[in-house]
Amino acid sequence: MNEFERRPSGLVLPPGRVAKRFQGERVHRVAWKIVRGLYFYHFRKPLEEDAPKHLEIVPPGETPPKSFFVLSGTENHGRHPGVFDYTFGTYPHEHNCNYWAMLLWNRIIFTMAFQAPTCGCAECIAMFGTS
Ligand SMILES: [Zn+2]
């Protein structure tokens, strides 16, 4: 419980809300490691460690990004959904976009967009960067 702050940097949060700080780069690296492992499990192809990708973290109670809802109707793959669940979609005609969503402890959503294989067009470089 000491990890949660009621008044981060002196800010007064709405009732019932707390703040949790995390190391963004570390969370990003771990999320990508999980996706790479599960991607290999499903497709038997490795993803480059330094492939362009985009992570979004949706805190409990927040509305996920619009792109998240493209996954509605896809199959959930988690074996212990209350702890960890995930789903994904593959969109070859959308610049080889892969879009994954992970649900942690039934509360926190991670979404990860990446290309497999990478596209390299100007639009994609603008969206994902070069690494
Ligand atoms: Zn592209």
Annotate 105-118 with three-state secondary structure.
Answer: CCCEEEEEEEECCC
What average pLDDT score do residues 59-65 get? Answer: 89
Compare 116 and 16 and report the one with higher pLDDT: 116
Q: How far is the CA of 67 from the centre of ligand 1 (A)?
A: 17
Report pLDDT digits (tens) over 7-19.
777 888 888 777 7
- Ligand 1 centroid – CA 120 distance (Å): 6
* Contact indicator for 109, 85 with CB cutoff of 8 Å: no
Whether residue 41 is predicted with pLDDT greater than 90 in this model: the reply is yes
Query: What does the mean pLDDT of the chain come to?
Result: 88
Distance from Cα 127 to the centre of ligand 1, integer Å: 9
- pLDDT of 127 higher than 50: yes
Q: What is the whole-number distance in angstroms between the Cα of residue 118 and the centre of ligand 1?
A: 8
Query: What is the distance in A from the centroid of ligand 1 to the CA of 68?
Result: 20
- Pairing of the two strands 108-115 and 84-91: unpaired
